[in-house]
Amino acid sequence: MITFREYTPSPALFNSLTDSVDWGTRDEGVVQTALENSLCCVCAFDGEEIVGFGRLIGDRTIFLYVQDVMVRPEYQGQKVGTGIMEKLIEEVNEYKQINKGIRTYLGASRGKEDFYRRFGFETRADAGLGPGMVLF
């Protein structure tokens, strides 16, 4: 049975997850700082093994950001991503008690929009907003 709970993985484990979904790996010190500065990390466990992950970053009051939602390929299509998103949305709802107008963003990879629509997200275009932009 897959279970979901707040847990911060080690940088090595985080890298093994990103690698499994073809996002590559990063310096472990960089990952450590990123995870430490996250508001909340959610892991999906199959027994003791972490098979999926997602995190929330942000300022706790005006803007939140869902980041790094990923499920090991062999576990995809089994509602693991759904469980991770549900946990993250629970967390978002906690922050809504501080400011009900809090806005939660995410950057959907191409073709993943419909997955996120299930949780109430809409594209900025559909919401009548301008395009999102990124600085590399």
Ligand X SMILES: CC(C)(COP(=O)(O)OP(=O)(O)OC[C@H]1O[C@@H](n2cnc3c(N)ncnc32)[C@H](O)[C@@H]1OP(=O)(O)O)[C@@H](O)C(=O)NCCC(=O)NCCS
Residue 67 binding ligand X, by CB under 6 A: no
Residue 43 binding ligand X, by CB under 6 A: no
Residue 17 binding ligand X, by CB under 6 A: no
Residue with Cβ nearer ligand X (16 or 78)? 78
> Residues 24, 111, 128, 130: which binds ligand X (CB under 6 A)?
111
Spatial CA neighbour of 55 closest among 75, 70, 45: 70
For the beta carbon of residue 85, count every other beta carbon within 10 angstroms: 24
Residue with tokens 């759904």: 82
Number of residues engaging ligand X in binding (CB under 6 A): 18
Stretch that binds ligand X, among 2-10, 77-85, 87-95, 97-105 (CB under 6 A): 77-85
Stretch that binds ligand X, among 7-15, 55-63, 67-75, 121-129 (CB under 6 A): 67-75
> What does the binding site for ligand X look like in residue numbers (CB under 6 A)?
21, 69-71, 76-82, 108-109, 111-112, 114-115, 118
